């Protein structure tokens, strides 16, 4: 019996205790890693939703459509040219066939305030082949209340996008609205363009605008967006803020009559 080798009871108990401690530590580490992964994934999802919303706004603003009847402008310019009283301009009607129906030009105003903007954009695609619609649509962005879409109780402030294929005289109404983003605590807009030395919070291209903005689109739009979401587990408030400057690629504005008119500069903040 003295030649047989084995573990004593104390050694077995010590080994079991060590293995138990290692199992507890490994379990805690795995649980902590899973919690960290869920937390980071939630942050990535929140930031991704904000980026997607801002990318859509940027695309719409980049392709803002300002319609101008160039033919009518040329015709008016020819009429304004001085000519002798006894000399008559050639009859253009003799060369141009009469139109079959009265021509109705689209109204493409840009209406912007501190918390809302409505305009016409070329960022549109036909959902049905050979569908009779224009290449441009009315777009509107605003912040207002909505019911939670994630299953949470109550409502929150949301970012809405309005769109319609019918472009009429009032670009601020009509169409369907969809929610782009929930839990929006801030949605601020500023505009800049020729004749403005700094960013402004109001831009109207209709008759209600000032001498600079009337019949003109801005050069760029600054969008500031902030989302605050409450963590249901920890009750902590998570806050994310982003800001972009979206440039209108082709404002299609009339050239300033005053050569000394001031032109605004675009300031980008990161």
Give, for all 270 residues of the chain, the pLDDT tens digit: 555 667 788 888 888 899 989 988 888 888 888 777 777 877 888 899 999 999 999 999 999 999 887 777 777 777 777 555 555 555 555 556 666 666 666 778 999 999 999 999 999 876 667 777 778 899 999 999 988 766 555 678 999 999 998 888 889 999 999 999 999 999 999 999 999 999 999 999 998 999 999 999 999 999 999 999 877 677 788 899 999 999 999 999 987 544 333 433 334 343
Give pLDDT, residue 87: 54
In a domain, 60, yes or no: yes
In a domain, 85, yes or no: no
In a domain, 223, yes or no: yes
Give pLDDT, residue 265: 38
In a domain, 122, yes or no: yes
Give pLDDT, residue 134: 75
In a domain, 27, yes or no: yes
Give pLDDT, residue 84: 52
- Structurally, how many domains does the chain consist of? 1
Residue range(s) defining the domain that contains residue 153: 11-68+105-247
Distance CA 137, CA 86 (A): 48
In a domain, 76, yes or no: no
Give pLDDT, residue 268: 38
Give pLDDT, residue 262: 41
In a domain, 98, yes or no: no
Give pLDDT, residue 9: 83
Give pLDDT, residue 259: 37
Give pLDDT, residue 257: 46
In a domain, 42, yes or no: yes
């Amino acid at each position: 019996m003295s030649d047989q080798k084995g573990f004593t009871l104390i050694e077995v108990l010590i080994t079991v205790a060590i293995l138990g401690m290692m199992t507890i530590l490994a379990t805690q580490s795995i649980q902590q890693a899973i919690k960290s992964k869920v937390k980071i994934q939630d942050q990535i999802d929140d930031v991704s939703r904000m980026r997607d919303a801002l990318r859509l706004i940027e695309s719409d603003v980049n392709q803002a459509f300002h319609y101008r009847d160039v033919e009518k402008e040329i015709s008016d310019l020819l009429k304004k040219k001085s000519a002798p009283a006894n000399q008559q301009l050639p009859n253009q009607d003799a060369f141009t066939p009469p139109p079959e129906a009265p021509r109705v030009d689209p109204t493409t105003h840009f209406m912007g305030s501190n918390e809302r903007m409505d305009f016409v954009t070329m960022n549109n695609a036909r959902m049905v082949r050979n569908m009779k619609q224009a290449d441009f649509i009315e777009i509107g962005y605003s912040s207002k209340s909505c019911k939670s879409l994630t299953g949470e109780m109550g409502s929150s402030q949301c970012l809405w996008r309005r769109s319609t294929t019918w472009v009429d005289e009032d670009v601020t109404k009509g169409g369907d609205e969809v929610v782009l983003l929930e839990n929006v605590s801030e949605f601020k807009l500023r505009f800049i363009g020729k004749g403005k030395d700094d960013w402004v919070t109001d831009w109207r291209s209709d008759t209600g605008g000032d001498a600079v903005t009337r019949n003109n689109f801005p050069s760029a739009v600054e969008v500031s967006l902030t989302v605050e979401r409450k963590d249901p587990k920890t009750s902590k408030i998570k806050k994310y803020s982003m800001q972009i400057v979206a440039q209108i690629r082709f404002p299609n504005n009339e050239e300033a009559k005053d050569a000394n008119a001031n032109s605004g500069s675009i300031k980008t903040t990161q």
